[in-house]
Amino acid sequence: MGSEQPARMTLGGNALGIGSKAAIALVGLATILMVTTICMRPSPVKEADVEGRPIEVPIDSYVGSATCRACHPHEHDTWHDSYHSKMTQKAGPESVLGDFDDVHLTADDKSYHLTREGDNFYVELEFAWPEKTLDERSRYPWPNRPQGQTRQRIALTTGSHNMQVYWYETGHPDLRGDSKSYGREGAVLGMLPFTWQVEEGRWITRRAAFVTPHTDEPQARILDWNMVCLKCHATHARPRVKRDSAGVGMLGAFTQVGEFGIACESCHGPGEEHVAANQNPLRRYRQRASGEPDPTIVNPSRLSPKLSTQVCGSCHADLEYNFNTASLEDWIQNGFKYRPGDDLSRYYRVDTSGDDQFWPDGLNRVAGREYNALLTSDCHEKGGMTCLTCHVQHQPSDDPRPREEWKSDQLHNIDIDQTCLQCHPSFEDDIPAHTHHAAGSEGSSCQNCHMPHTTYGLLKGVRTHRIMSPSVQSTLTTGRPNACNQCHLDQTLEWTASHLHEWYGTEIPELKKDDREISAGVLWALKGDAAQRALVAWAFSWPPAQAAAGRSWMAPYLAELLLDPYEAVRIIAERSLRTLPGYETFRHNLIGTPEERGAANGAALDVWKKSGGPVAVRRRSRVLIAGDGTLMAKVYARVRKMRNNRIYRLFE
């Protein structure tokens, strides 16, 4: 008895001191349970059979980014970590950033209920179909379309950096197979009229996320992703929308993409030939040893400056498509013809016609159109500057920066000024002689003077990509802020004109009395148009501007912008306020009632009045601060009445 040892558990043996038959039975039962569990799991639906959303179909020689990883793991990983890869994603626990935990949202008396069940996300909303005329209703002529309050599944997400937009299934039938059949759910998507602000962790209406007037309803928009957004937010996208005989109404869709997001083949072109050719290892080694470009794939860094820039410009631009009736239908069915390495002008022409999207001289005022701006720069036209001069799409393995830091702008790991000095070496010996600012200061930064934040996007100022010199005359002609006054917000246009004349011989333009006596920052904030007010509201939070102009006088102007007619301007102003001392936790409902906005304005002014600190501006009258530290009310009110109330819609 004392020599007996407890039996050990083995796959076919006596584990717990039980008989061998019982052990076999136990193992058999466990096997049955395991097999049953596996069989009961729902089989994953093949992508080609997915209903309710666009699907990924790698055709036309597109093979997908996963194929690239086998030979290019570092390039794949750096791309995967970039925001390009996450521009559009299938909705799921890893991709959805917004709060769907039983959230109730309201916009213009319409309610939206966000929920989550397992890995699926839903919105309950009231469909708002066109009801003005019979003709408008006929544009959506599918049977059994959702009416009234309905619950729809979130299908895709767009964005992952600043904000995230959500697309839900509409239940619209697709037309795969028989063109007369409406029996299956199609790929037509609707846009949730709210966006998730990633950094702040809160929902705002889509209207508030863009510079659009409060009269625009934030209703659920149908078909935008299928017909517009897919071109640049997915790879090799094909709308495949069926229109009625008149070419007006939309009957259904079966939208397909090569891959969601901006993937490898967006920049390098379809990879099937490249993959097939390089199955042969000898071919790979010979090709690499030759040092010549691989003719089976496009490398934008090896293209001419014109063609290289066009790769990025195919998305980062305002373009008009060279459509006729036949090519429009071909685009709808087969997608865009342009491929990296092609001449973009064969398919598109640069557009500068949209009044709201461009400054009066044709320079784009909305982000995402950097190609338009670069085309008009001598640095590109004469110097061969391309997007890759400053940006690198795959972080080099010897770059010491954390991936999070690199992917924000995907800039080379060198000082941007050094990039400029490659073509302008004469300035390097004595930088202060050229910039009239101390070397290494913000005022001696090439990009701060020649690429100011005069483009608007994503609730902030964005650098223009037209390389240009500061000009007060340009500000007077177009209304676009100049680099000097965007930093020196407390200074007048006359101050800037005088310094530019003294330093560079620039002619001083004729200036009005206010331009000689009141700071440009104050004038833009009080009487500028919606786009100018959005830019200056952001500029008040820009650290170089706060350092150059001081912060103690800014609060009253940001408080004024909390009352702005445009929700986006109010939100930007509140963000800027939180960068000032005493406002770190300042947060109000700026999309609420006029009374709530008035309360926010009053609260902001109260903090400023109670601070009691000196206003650190040499000539306080420039920023309309009287000798006793209070606002110069009469002048303030006069300038405020001059506000440009033109309606703006800045589409991003």
Specify whether 456 is located in the same domain as 414: no
As given in the structure block, the two tokens for residue 65 are 């980014």
What is the tens place of the pLDDT at every residue in 308-350?
A: 999 999 999 998 887 665 577 888 889 999 999 999 999 888 8
For residue 570, which of 560, 585, 583 has the smallest C-alpha distance? 560
pLDDT at 8: 33
Kindly report the backbone phi and psi dihedral angles of residue 164, in degrees, each rounded to the nearest multiple of 5, phi listed first: -130, 135
**What pLDDT is attached to residue 324?**
62
What is the full DSSP assignment across 181-222?
---SB---EEEEEEEEETTTTEEEEHHHHTT--TTS--PPEE
> What are the backbone angles phi and psi of residue 380, rounded to the nearest 5°?
-85, -50
Share of the chain above pLDDT 90, in %: 70
Express each pLDDT in 138-169 by its tens digit. Answer: 444 444 455 567 899 999 999 999 999 999 99
SS3 197: strand
* DSSP single-letter state for residue 225: I
Q: Is residue 141 part of a domain?
A: yes
DSSP state at residue 227: I
Contact in structure between 297 and 67 (CB atoms under 8 Å): no
- Check whether residue 616 and residue 475 sit in a common domain: yes
- Helix boundaries (H) for 210-271: 224, 230-233, 264-268
In a domain, 357, yes or no: yes
Query: d(Cα 418, Cα 408) in Å, to the nearest integer?
Result: 20
C-alpha separations of 318 from 315, 365, 636 in Å: 8, 11, 38
Q: What is the pLDDT of residues 543-578, one digit of tens each?
A: 999 999 999 999 999 999 999 999 999 999 999 999
Residue 366's domain comprises: 299-423
Domain membership flag for residue 68: no
Return phi, psi of residue 90, to 5°: -70, 135
Give the whole-angstrom CA distance, residue 435 versus residue 484: 11
Q: What is the residue-wise DSSP string for 326-389? A: HHHHHHHHH-----TTS-GGGTEEE----TTTB-TTS-B-BTT-HHHHHHT-HHHHTT---GGG
Cβ pair 232, 319 in contact under 8 A:
no
Distances (CA, A) of 373 to 276, 362, 433, 446, 510: 39, 9, 28, 17, 28
Do the Cβ atoms of 187 and 54 come closer than 8 Å?
yes
Q: Distance between CA 474 and CA 447 in Å, rounded? A: 18
What is the predicted pLDDT for the residue at 191?
A: 92
Q: What is the mean pLDDT of residues 300-305?
A: 96
- Give residue 393's pLDDT band: very low, low, confident or very high (50, 70, 90): very high
Kindly state whether residues 35 and 94 are assigned to the same domain.
Answer: no
Number of domains in the chain: 4
- Helix spans in 221-324 (H): 224, 230-233, 264-268, 272-277, 281-290, 305-313
Residue type at position 270: P
- 346 and 475 assigned to the same domain: no
Q: Distances in Å between the alpha carbon of 572 and those of 38, 531, 558, 561?
A: 52, 12, 9, 9
Assess if residue 79 is contained within a domain: no
Mean pLDDT value across the chain: 87
**CA 248 distance to own-chain centroid:** 30
The answer to whether position 435 is within a domain reads no
Lowest mean pLDDT across 251-260, 377-386, 598-607? 251-260
Closest Cα partner for 547 from 631, 456, 441? 441
Same domain? 121 vs 14: no
Give residue 315's identity as a one-letter amino acid code: C
Q: Are 4 and 96 members of one domain?
A: no
Residues 5 and 126 in one domain: no
> 549 and 442 in contact (C-beta within 8 Å)?
no
Instruction: Report d(CA 377, CA 38) in Å as an integer.
Output: 62
483 and 630 co-located in one domain: yes
48 inside domain:
no
Domain endpoint, select from 259, 274, 291? 259
Widest CA span in the chain? 113
Angle between helical axes of 567-577 and 594-611 (0-180°, round to 10): 20
| 514 and 465 belong to one structural domain | yes
Per-residue pLDDT, 568: 96
Q: Residue 151 is which amino acid?
A: R
Per the domain annotation, does 324 fall within a domain? Answer: yes
570 close to 207: Cβ distance less than 8 angstroms: no
Which pLDDT does position 222 carry in this prediction? Answer: 81
- Verify that 455 and 329 share a domain, yes or no: no
pTM: 0.88
Q: What is the pLDDT of residues 57-116, one digit of tens each?
A: 989 999 999 999 999 999 999 999 999 999 999 999 999 999 999 999 998 888 999 999
Mean pLDDT along residues 386-414: 95
Three-state DSSP class for residue 479: coil
Whether 49 is in a domain gets the answer: no
Distance CA 373, CA 565 (A): 29
Distance CA 623, CA 632 (A): 9
pLDDT digits (tens, 9 = 90+) for 353-365: 667 999 999 999 9
157 and 208 both lie in a single domain: yes
Cα(94)–Cα(82) distance, rounded to whole angstroms? 15
CA atoms 285, 286, 287, 292: torsion sign: positive
Question: Phi and psi (nearest 5°) for 155?
Answer: -105, -45
Please state, in angstroms and rounded to a whole number, the distance separating the CA atoms of residues 462 and 230. Answer: 23
Same domain flag for 28 and 148 = no
CB atoms within 10 A of CB 516: 12
Tens digit of each residue's pLDDT (9 = 90 or more) over 459-495: 999 999 999 999 999 999 999 999 999 999 999 999 9
| Paired tokens of 587 | 């947060």
pLDDT for res 465 = 97
| Strand-pair partners of 156 | 90, 167
pLDDT digits (tens, 9 = 90+) for 161-199: 999 999 999 876 544 444 443 335 578 899 999 999 999
Q: Which of 259, 287, 317 is the last residue of a domain?
A: 259
